[in-house]
Amino acid sequence: MSKEFRHIVRVIDTDVDGTLKAAYALRRVKGISINLANAILRKAGVDPEVRIGVLSEEQVDKIEDVINNPSKYGIPSWLLNRRKDLETGKDLHLISSDLVLRTKMDIELMKKIKCWKGYRHAHGLKVRGQRTRTTGRKGKTVGVSKKRR
């Protein structure tokens, strides 16, 4: 453990509050869930209950290395967020801006090949089977209009 407490810790291009416990601090990074955060800390040899501001720079670097290469450290593939990638066929885990960019690219591909989900995305409709008869009416007239005499 380091001797001094840091109030802001930089983890994978994200500023994290140093007063948070390590597992909850890692959740602040886009693409990391609480289960993955606990697995990362276990593989890095860090106690999940310790505050992240107390960790040394070497421990933070070790955590970042585990985040960047989860399969190298034996983290199971079912915890990763991009399994069997279309381009490479490998199990990947995307974080922060890479995750946002890849999601946008996937939506654009669906629109391009004109699959059902792509059609729904392109027309601004609900994609995952929700009802649309009464909900999701933003920007449209709601209610019944009568003819004027």
89-146 pLDDT, tens per residue?
888 899 988 999 999 999 999 999 999 999 999 998 899 999 988 887 776 566 666 7
Domain ranges of the chain: 8-79, 95-130
pTM score, whole prediction: 0.76
58-73 pLDDT, tens per residue?
999 999 999 999 989 9
Burial of residue 79 (number of CB atoms within 10 Å: 0-12, 13-18, 19+) = middle
Q: What one-letter code names the amino acid at 56? A: S
3-state secondary structure of 51: strand
Domain 8-79 fold is Helicase, Ruva Protein; domain 3 (1.10.8)
Q: How far is CA 64 from CA 22, 73, 91, 122, in A?
A: 13, 12, 18, 37
Q: How much is the CA Rg of the chain, to the nearest whole Å? A: 22
